[in-house]
A and B are shown apart, each in its own frame.
Chain A
Amino acid sequence: MGKDTSARSDAALSVGIKAGLQAPERGTTPAANGIAGTEASKPERQANLWSDVWIELRRNPLFFISAVFVLLMLAIAIAPQLFTSADPRDCSLTNSLVRPSAQHWFGFDLQGCDYYARVMYGARASIAVGLSVTAASALIAVIGGALAGYYGGLIDGLIARITDVVLAIPLFLGGIVILSALGRQSRGIVTVTIALTALYWPTMLRLMRSSVLSAKEQDYVTAARALGATDLRILMSHILPNAIAPVIVYATIAVGIIIAVEATLSYLGIGLQLPAISWGLMISDAQDRLLQAPHLLLFPGLFLSITVFAFILMGDALRDALDPKLR
């Protein structure tokens, strides 16, 4: 018969059970049985697949830790006024390089600005860039990947080749070149976002494309075609919801990566410029005075690391929660 025993991973059970029970192949999984076996239908909790993901996430302590930090950083980015009443630009040279104290937790920087306030306000630039680049790249990736994967042929060929070319450009070098070319004056949050987006979308597009390719082969898509569904309906109702999970995981991690990239570019002087407040810029300024005023490096560095780490951790937790559900 040559039946295709492709991996239909069983939702809730581990490898040992799969080997033993051969359940997915031949019809009745114990998980499904549990509900089917209780034939007298007592009202079962309605399990939405996303709520299943949520339950999995709730079990994972790392998710909570990372979520707390992510939310915290988001709050700081959105409304730094809530965290500090000081004005980051209210600088007075008399306070230059003053160490942290009880009234001014992070001390002062070279210009005499309240460092705590600067770190708080600096969150905004970094996180804004991180989120926008990821969102824009994801948009391009989802649309492009879906079209390439679904239609194949010429469209796929075209998109795939463009993707390959852009993918070959190293992120940092490319970023440096683009931003240098744009000139000092125009390097604001928007420009940096555009520059990074232009280089970052290929990886996500490839991910989406391969996800779509495998979703496309599923019988339920064939069933929809056999019913006469339009391509749009098939893409929106059948393919997208089932293909997007890996992209979501990757995007979450990508936010962290982009934040780090932006900080690095600003550190190198290629990214955001003064008078913008950015952790990368602050770290750049701090390096010359490392021995005199270590607090200048410590605080933005700490916040940067925590933020990046939190996003990456959350992406990990999402992947673990989604994985068994990625059928």
Chain B
Amino acid sequence: MTDVKDHALPTPGSGGAGHLLEVEDLHVEFRTRRGVVHAVNGISYTLDERETLAILGESGSGKSVSAQAVMGIIDSPPGFVTQGAVRFQGRDLLQMPERERRAIRGQRIAMVFQDALTALNPVFSVGWQIGEPYRVHHGVSRAQARRKAVEMMERVRIPSALQRVDDYPHQFSGGMRQRVMIAMALALDPDILIADEPTTALDVTIQAQVMELLADLQAETGMGLILITHDLGVVADAADRVAVMYAGRIVETGPVRAIYHNPAHPYTHGLMGSIPRLDQKGERLNPIKGSPPNLMRIPPGCPFHPRCPYARAVCAEDLPPLYEVGHGQRSACHFFQEVIDEQRP
């Protein structure tokens, strides 16, 4: 298959008002025998070149599903994207014919998963897995593809790349496998990399290596990075902007420092207060009471209200929109000003 890229899409330009990626009012649901799971309930965000957007959320927040919707890899059935647009360089991926979408997926938008061991095919060598998509997209020979694979392995700092290009995934350690996945993702020089919990299964020293690698690669290539994680530390280190998700919605978004130092949503604020810190031995942690809601029966109004210390009657009735807090920060809480005010000394 020849390179579809040049025919299908406008030449990527930078600047102007257009964002590299624009997700608008995305809704995803899963229809099961027991009911409909509303996994994503209207999220919108943007991503520009060279920017790192962190999507922060716990399990059940919908963060992974939203990324899969962007990539177009949701199992359907039972999953359905019921509403919304995903615009890559101005063109809506959800409206595109599958053929064109496939040209973009993997090539212009690439994804790296949490568990490299299960995401890599155990019966193919890593060199093959890295080189094959490249070979297919660019129509080059196998030898060239192999050279490219070695080049990518060196770029992701896998030692002895030339000797190891024919090794199989199980012969690598966890951190190395993660690098292989990154090499695979970057072989086609994508514009956007989505990393879904890239470090959760890794030891902390390996995690540091991988995050450093991602930062360096981003600086080299200028790609946009969407980082999906629940780790508040990783987000603080790596992100430029943060979108906090809860029950399938974005409840707060803004520059990373604003989110961490002046959270304007009770959930974000609660999260910050409930984690132990490496740089301080605290007295007592302040957990958020209760548990996340069942996505088949999301409470009316604000989904967080059953657990919220600021909740009032209106919270159970009116779904809060994302209010402007200022300086690029937005919060989906009717009483965000109170949340901010209470933090002032």
Complex CA gap A19/B73 in Å reads 10
**Are A33 and B77 in touch, CB under 8 angstroms?**
no
**Are B30 and A12 in touch, CB under 8 angstroms?**
no
Q: Which residues of B contact A82 (CB under 8 A)?
A: none
| A22 CB, nearest partner CB in chain B, Å | 5
Complex CA gap A30/B58 in Å reads 13
Report A10-26 CB contacts with B as 1/0, cut-off 8 Å.
00111111011111011
Interface of B is mostly: loop
**Are B297 and A34 in touch, CB under 8 angstroms?**
yes
Q: How many residues of B contact A (CB 8 A)?
A: 39
- Indicate which residue in B64, B115, B118, B294 contacts A34 across the interface (CB closer than 8 Å): B294
8 Å CB interface, B20-57 against A: 28, 30, 32, 34, 37, 39
B133 within 8 A of partner (CB): no
8 Å CB interface, B126-169 against A: none
User: What are 7 A-B residue pairs whose CB atoms fall within 8 Å in the complex?
Assistant: A5-B115, A13-B32, A19-B74, A20-B74, A23-B59, A30-B37, A30-B60
- Indicate which residue in B76, B197, B203, B291 contacts A33 across the interface (CB closer than 8 Å): B291
Q: Which residues of B contact A23 (CB under 8 A)?
A: 59-60
**Are B60 and A28 in touch, CB under 8 angstroms?**
yes
**Are A14 and B32 in touch, CB under 8 angstroms?**
yes
Q: Which residues of A contact B28 (CB under 8 A)?
A: 20
| B278 CB, nearest partner CB in chain A, Å | 16
Given contacts A12-B34, A21-B65, contact A27 B59 (CB under 8 A): yes
Nearest chain A residue, comparing its CB with the CB of B66? A20
- Indicate which residue in A1, A3, A5, A26 contacts B230 across the interface (CB closer than 8 Å): A26
Report A21-52 CB contacts with B as 1/0, cut-off 8 Å.
11101111011011011010000000000000
B254 within 8 A of partner (CB): no
**Are B68 and A2 in touch, CB under 8 angstroms?**
no
Residues of B within 8 A of A (CB): 28, 30, 32, 34, 37, 39, 58-60, 62, 64-65, 68, 74-79, 114-115, 118, 174, 197, 200-204, 230, 290-297, 306
Q: Which residues of B contact A31 (CB under 8 A)?
A: 294
Q: Which residues of B contact A33 (CB under 8 A)?
A: 60, 291-295
Q: Which residues of A contact B292 (CB under 8 A)?
A: 28, 33, 37
- Indicate which residue in B65, B76, B79, B203 contacts A2 across the interface (CB closer than 8 Å): B203
**Are B59 and A37 in touch, CB under 8 angstroms?**
no
- Indicate which residue in A1, A20, A25 contacts B30 across the interface (CB closer than 8 Å): A20
Q: Which residues of B contact A37 (CB under 8 A)?
A: 290-294, 297, 306
| A228 CB, nearest partner CB in chain B, Å | 33
Complex CA gap A30/B61 in Å reads 11
Q: Which residues of B contact A26 (CB under 8 A)?
A: 58-59, 230
**Are B78 and A16 in touch, CB under 8 angstroms?**
yes
**Are B78 and A14 in touch, CB under 8 angstroms?**
yes
| A24 CB, nearest partner CB in chain B, Å | 9
- Which A-B residue pairs are the 7 nearest by beta carbons? A20-B65, A26-B59, A34-B294, A16-B75, A33-B294, A16-B79, A16-B78
Nearest chain B residue, comparing its CB with the CB of A39? B290
Complex CA gap A13/B79 in Å reads 12
- Indicate which residue in A19, A22, A30 contacts B294 across the interface (CB closer than 8 Å): A30
Q: Which residues of A contact B64 (CB under 8 A)?
A: 19-22
Nearest chain A residue, comparing its CB with the CB of B117? A5
**Are A19 and B75 in touch, CB under 8 angstroms?**
yes
| A182 CB, nearest partner CB in chain B, Å | 50
Report A233-271 CB contacts with B as 1/0, cut-off 8 Å.
000000000000000000000000000000000000000
Q: Which residues of B contact A13 (CB under 8 A)?
A: 30, 32, 34, 37
- Indicate which residue in A1, A5, A25, A34 contacts B296 across the interface (CB closer than 8 Å): A34
| B40 CB, nearest partner CB in chain A, Å | 9
Nearest chain A residue, comparing its CB with the CB of B173? A2
Complex CA gap A13/B30 in Å reads 10
| B321 CB, nearest partner CB in chain A, Å | 24
Query: Which of A12, A23, A33 has the most chain B CB within a 10 Å cutoff?
Result: A33
